[in-house]
Amino acid sequence: MRGREGMGSSTRIIRAALLAAAGVALAAAAFLLREKHQEAEAAVQSIHDQLDALDPATRAAVIARLTSDEVKKVRGHQL
């Protein structure tokens, strides 16, 4: 009987260690995701600032070109 009690204890320790490792992995993933999100927001703000700096005609031409390129990409994936 003593052997089983020892196994139960070691099983609980292994489970606790696995849960702790999973928690650390989730925390690291959340940190990386938040960092990537902040980088993306900074890139979007930079693009908006650059577009805002253009004169209206040039800005319209750039937006039309970007829109056209994206429509072509979407249509290319709809085979």
For residue 2, pLDDT beyond 90: no
pLDDT computed for residue 7 by the predictor: 66
Question: What is the domain range of residue 57?
Answer: 2-76
Rounded alpha-carbon distances, angstroms, from residue 40 to 62, 68, 69, 78: 20, 22, 20, 27
When pLDDT is averaged across residues 34-49 and rounded to a whole number, the result is: 97
Domain count, the chain: 1
Q: What is the pTM of this model?
A: 0.57
**Predicted pLDDT of residue 1:** 47
3-state secondary structure of 79: coil
